[in-house]
Structure 1
Amino acid sequence: MDSGSQPPSSQPVKRRRITRACDRCHHGSLKCAPGPTPQSCQPCASYGAECKFDRPLKRRGPAARPRTDNVTSQLQRQSPTYSLVMGTGSPWEYVHVADTSVIEYLADQYHQIVYPILLYFHWPSFYADIVARRYLCDRSFYTLTMAICATAATRLSGELPTRIASVIKVKNNSSLSGMFYTACINSLPVLHTDEVEFNFMRAEALLGMLCLEYNNIRGCHAHLHRYLAMCAEIGFNDESQWPPGLTAIEVEERRRLFWQQYHFDVYLATIFGSSIRQRGQTQCQVLYPAEVYDDSDIGETDVHLRGDDHVSFIRGWNFVTDLYRILEHFVQKEHPQSSQQTRRGSLMDKLLSSNTNPDTSNVADILAASQEMYDSLPIELREARPLTGQIHQDRYGFQAINATITLTTLKMVLARTEDRSVNQLCTMAGGFLDELLTIPTAYIRSTSTAMVGPKYFVA
């Protein structure tokens, strides 16, 4: 054998054997594919994360397998109905971030403050999984739980309870949120997966909203794009494409997620001028969520609707969806497609302007109809009463300010479509701000940037 031919054949083998995944891909069980530059792999480049190799070198081989097998069997004995979710190339491994008491505390805070607006869950079944520690052995649920904790941490006001502060090592709520956010990002799989997990969709939705809190609009769009990619893959915009055999709980959770993300999509377009990716009128075959009084009214097989004496806070949430559908049309009108892509006066210009742009000739009628819809809501959904700490009472207040601020945003968008003077617009804005100032400040402190953002838009 020619000895001179050995180095070219052996060198690539040796190079493959010593290749290591970066820290982020290692923790998230991701395929550490080469990136656009030598300094970053593809997953890190996609997320804009720093590509690091700071973890210590460890001896590879079968020696570590018995320990992993013992941990796996222990977790499966604790929760026999859940199995480990396989990542790319190797099984996913649970990464400890915080004590169980911290996770349960933050989940409870989410329920109190965030859940009345971000209705991603059937809370009784979701919280039962939290208590059962499903996140220990289910990758997608772990990712979702980390997103919940990161979101809840941004809404905390004041000091943490002593029992919680004693088991965490962060200086402030922002650091606490960032800790869970990092864990969530590290556990996300690469986008190209064999099967779309519903919990990953919900996690991406929460992360997009969370990026608003971080003032990271680019992150909002990145997570929304990943969510929409999964939607496109499974036909999420059409209920007939959903998996057969879903329970009533699973159907309602999907409806809530779909329309909440529609809110978010139109919100970004209205406030930040981005494109609307989902069309509520022409591309959606998804029903509104059932207007139940409480999530306990949703069972495995049916949904129980109580009488008029039990006002559903979801009625206010569905009203906000109606407002966003109106906003979709008028945001599109403000940025007509034909203005940039066709010659003015051409046949294409006439076709697009007549078929894609809504008729805004009678803005006054639309304003009147929107106000009439608002006035027909129960008083609980129109007046935000002081916070009581009781979720069944406070959720009405959160929906009341949600409806008030969204209606205010709609009025300002409609006003811009009319020929009004600067003085008239300033007078309108002043009146709207006076309305917003009637909202109890406790709600403003507790709620999100997505809720307060339209105030700056109005100004």
Structure 2
Amino acid sequence: MQQDRPRKLQRISQACDLCHRRSIRCRPSNEDNDRCQNCYDFDVACTYDRPSKRRKHPQAPVAPAQPSQPSARSSLPTNTLTSDSANDFPFVPALVTSRDSAELDLPWKVFALSSESVILDLLDAYMEVVYPLYPFFNEASDRAKIKNRQHLTDKGFFSSIMAMCALASARIRDGAEPSRISEAVRKPAASSEVFFTAAKSVFTSDLDKLRGFDFVRACTLLSLTSIQYGQSLDVQQYSGIGSTLISMQRFYDEKYWPSGLEESEKETYRRVYWGSYTLEVFTAVVWNCFIRTQEVHLNVRYPNELDEGTVASTKIEVPAGQHRVSWLVGWNFTIDLYRVLEHVVNKSRAKRFSHDDRRSVDSLVFGDAFSEKSVMATMLNMYYALPPQFKATPHMTGDTTQDTYAFQAANIQATLQLLRMMLFSTEDGPSVERKCDVADEVLTVFRAIPPFYLRAISTPMIYQLGSLGGVLGSVFEHPLYQKDYQRVRVSLVALATLLDGLESNLHRSAGASQGLLAQVEKIDHYMHSQRNNTHPIPQQHPQQHLPQSTAAPPTMSMGLQPTMPEINGNGNGHGNAIQIPTDLALEWPWPVYQEYPYYMDNNGF
């Protein structure tokens, strides 16, 4: 009998791999003779694959050498945690190599199991502060899948859930304020970056193995999280992978979708695809990228506006005193704005890029008739026709009945201003006064939005304001009279004040507001130095765009005076125009977190 007894029921002299990794006691299981109790509880294989540290016989064969480890900045299949991230969650390995097997890597399975309650809490936070803008989950069914531990057996679902956690955790860290948040989420043992690494751990260089909707959803969420981190290259990487997966699996056409999908699943598909489209147009505007997916190629319906509230079983009731209307009416209108933005981007670039080897197809076929005022008037008329719920942003109440509508209103206003700025870039040689008027209109709109919603939109809003800063900074490429400088200076200080409030909670703040004020002060000193001198306007040369300085800007108080003393006694601007030196004209801290130089045309785009 003793010889037939399984080894695991005998006294354990060596802990299994799982218990060793977690530094916990390895004890036999009464339910499963082949696994220890911990492996049985976690439902994982009980293995002893690590090399033994015991002294071996001199004739014992030497263990084969381990393969060399890739660098931290490796290609897609390598998934590396930084030392800081690894220390945030001690038993997560420093390096997990993605394999093509159907099984989830054991360390990540253990991580997901031990973080189950945190994952559910982060799903709650996502539904409150992220979902109104990116409604990519069916709360009821996805919560049930997590509780049933489906993410431990489905790599695609695991990746999308981990990416959701990474985004929600990053938004909370950067100032988003869910009404209900647990201490485990407020001060997590695993950082957002750990969840991000877990999400990408299942990716492989063979994209044909990344089949299914969940990988597309994961790519969009990882791209959004990369914006939060300020990693523009990662934004493009995951957005590009997502677009490739959509193309390979023909998800851009509903007739190729998997058969047998329930209506709620189709609705989630539609939200993800249109959400990924708006993200691509947004990055094209703020980073001057090209648009991979054009709206005319998407044979995907808008989300059904008859769906009240979320696609979960709970429904959002109509606010008091207003007729019943789905919040998706506002969300779909935002898609309309981005579809218009796509065409405005194309028009702007056709105008900006002149080629002597070919004629513009746009002018050949469609003509040059294009009016910024007419386009904006059309979209404003559509905006005014929206129900009143989408034209007011009251303070957050903690009641999703009200707040979901206010989120849509805030997002609509932000997108309208993005459209306004892009339309402005199509104008021919706007004056300083015109540039300042546009900037002031945009700033007035943003100041009227409660800070809660701006913080929820978070880092993408900083990038958008960076484009506005580029518009104002472009006026210094030409000689300025005192009156013109005073006008643009007021707008710059107002922009710095708004940025200061948004940046205060960001985990990866680049100090754009302080850098902007420091630049204004430098120009103030230069203008003062010209007070008693007569300077001819220097000959103009093509401006060379230089890389952003890596030097940290000096710390300044937000108490910089709103106006500077007049350079000329009368202050009427009839003195000599002053050309700001090239080094001062090009040192603006735009864009806020860009890793490489960003090039703009004369209007700031």
TM-score normalised to structure 2 length: 0.57
Of 235, 244, 253, the residue aligned with 1:229 is 244
Deviations 1:392-448 (A, max 9, x none): 321111111100010011111112212321221211211221111000112222333
Question: Does structure 2 conserve the Cα–Cα contact (< 8 Å) formed by 1:409 and 1:458?
Answer: no
2:272 is the counterpart of 1:252: no
Native 8 Å contact 2:157 2:214 kept in 1: yes
1: distance between equivalents of 2:166 and 2:360? 49
Q: CA deviation at 1:329?
A: 0.9
Query: What is the alpha-carbon distance in structure 1 between the residues aligned to residue 323 and residue 375 of structure 2?
Result: 30
Shift of 1:164: 1.8
Counterpart in 2 of 1:71? none
Matched, 1:211 2:226: yes
Letter of the 1:389 partner, please give it.
G
Aligned-residue RMSD, C-alpha: 3.4
* 1:151-197 Cα deviation digits (max 9, x unpaired): 11112248996652699535xxxxx1111111112232334334612
Deviation at 1:297, TM superposition (A): 7.5
Matching of residues 172-191 of structure 1 within 5 Å: 176-191=191-206
Q: Aligned-pair distance for 1:48?
A: 7.9
Among candidates 285, 289, 292, match of residue 274 of structure 1: 289
Distance (whole Å) between structure 2 residues aligned to residue 425 and residue 354 of structure 1: 30
User: AA paired with 1:380?
Assistant: Q
**Distance in 2 between residues matched to 1:87 and 1:48, nearest whole Å:** 10
2:105 corresponding residue in structure 1: 93
Give SS of 1:336's match. Answer: helix
- The answer to whether structure 1 residue 309 and structure 2 residue 323 are counterparts is yes
Amino acid at match of 1:169: A
Q: Match for residue 322 of structure 1? A: 336
* Cα distance change of structure 1 residues 132 and 390 upon mapping to structure 2, 3 Å threshold: farther
Q: Supply the distance in 1 between the matched residues of 2:168 and 2:205 (Cα, whole angstroms).
A: 25
Q: Which has the higher helix share?
A: 1
**Within 2, Cα distance between the matches of 1:456 and 1:447?**
15
Q: Secondary structure at the match of 2:436?
A: helix
Structure number with bigger Rg: 2
Q: 1:311 aligns to what SS in structure 2?
A: coil
* 1:360 positional shift: 4.8
Q: Which runs of 5+ in 1 are unaligned?
A: 1-16, 24-38, 53-85, 171-175, 300-304
Q: Distance in 2 between matches of 1:166 and 1:450?
A: 22
Using the TM superposition, give the Cα deviation of residue 50 of structure 1 relative to its aligned residue in structure 2, in angstroms.
5.7
Paired residues of 2:141 and 2:312 also in contact (CA < 8 A): no
Alpha-carbon distance between aligned partners in 2 of 1:266 and 1:49, rounded to the nearest angstrom:
28
Cα-to-partner distance string for 1:91-112 (whole Å, 9 max, x where unaligned): 3235233522211111100001
Structure 2: runs of 5 or more not aligned: 1-62, 83-97, 470-605
Say whether 1:381 aligns with 2:372. no
What amino acid sits opposite 1:44 in the alignment? S
CA contact (8 A) 1:207 1:223 kept: yes
In 2: Cα distance, 1:289 partner to 1:359 partner: 34
What does 1:346-365 align with in structure 2 at a 5 Å threshold?
348-351=358-361, 353-355=363-365, 360-365=369-374
Flag the 1:166–1:108 CA change in 2: closer, same or farther, 3 A: closer
Q: Please name the residue that 1:403 is paired with.
A: 412
CA separation of 1:90 and 1:242: change in aligned 2, threshold 3 A: closer
- For the 8 Å contact 1:248–1:298, the answer to whether it is kept is no
Matched residues in 1 for 2:148 and 2:312: separation?
A: 22
CA spacing shift, 1:166–1:313, aligned 2, 3 Å: closer
Quick check: 1:434 aligned with 2:444?
A: yes
CA deviations over 1:357-386 (Å, ceiling 9, x no partner) = 785522222111110111111121111111
Q: Which amino acid aligns with 1:101?
A: S
Q: Does 1:367 align with 2:376?
A: yes
Compared CA separation, residues 331 and 338, structure 1 to 2 (3 A): closer
Task: Judge conservation of contact 2:121–2:181 (CA < 8 Å) in 1.
Answer: no
Distance 1:51 1:161 in 2: 26
Alpha-carbon distance, 1:134 to partner: 2.0
CA distance 1:111–1:230, shift in 2 (3 Å): same
**Which residue pairs with 1:56 in the alignment?**
none
Equivalent pair of 1:44/1:51 in contact (CA under 8 Å): no
2:309·2:326 contact (CA, 8 Å) conserved in 1?
A: yes
Structure 1 residues 87 and 456, CA gap change in structure 2 (3 angstroms): same
- In 1, are the aligned partners of 2:160 and 2:218 still within 8 Å (CA)? yes
Which stretch of the first structure deviates more once superposed, 370-379 or 215-224?
Answer: 370-379
Query: Match for residue 34 of structure 1?
Result: none
In structure 2, what is the Cα distance between the partners aligned to 1:115 and 1:243? 25
